[in-house]
Structure 1
């Protein structure tokens, strides 16, 4: 089975390779968890962000496949970034 990967570069991740598929241990050691956010709290923050994206997309009459894609990208974003650093406020 082949997995797709994306090259990500920037100040935080210079020339890093980032796979689209995460191992189970990555979910127990997210950047938010390492910054002191409990897994239950991170789950609630992810759910709130997903609801916000859904409501925004619905109000703007965006197709559901676009809304769902945005939610996936939000989850991926928070697999490499912390809710402590990138908050909704």
Structure 2
């Protein structure tokens, strides 16, 4: 899993996941954990897909695919903690 921060209307976090995590039985739980991890910041979840013209499928905030596939995005590895982090 990896993430990048971009600006669209406001700052936006783009999280790319494996298709198994995007479609799998735990995808709703993953979205909840990401929302907790990013503390309510706006994010979009993407996964590679060869069928759409953009080359990705996206879920979450409705953002134009050219924003989500910007070649200038700087990607970082993302590992979610096992337990939610304490806010202090």
Superposition TM-score, scaled by structure 2 size:
0.28
- More contact order relative to length (CA 8 Å, sep ≥ 6): 2
**Structure with more of its chain in helix, by fraction:** 1
Superposition TM-score, scaled by structure 1 size:
0.27
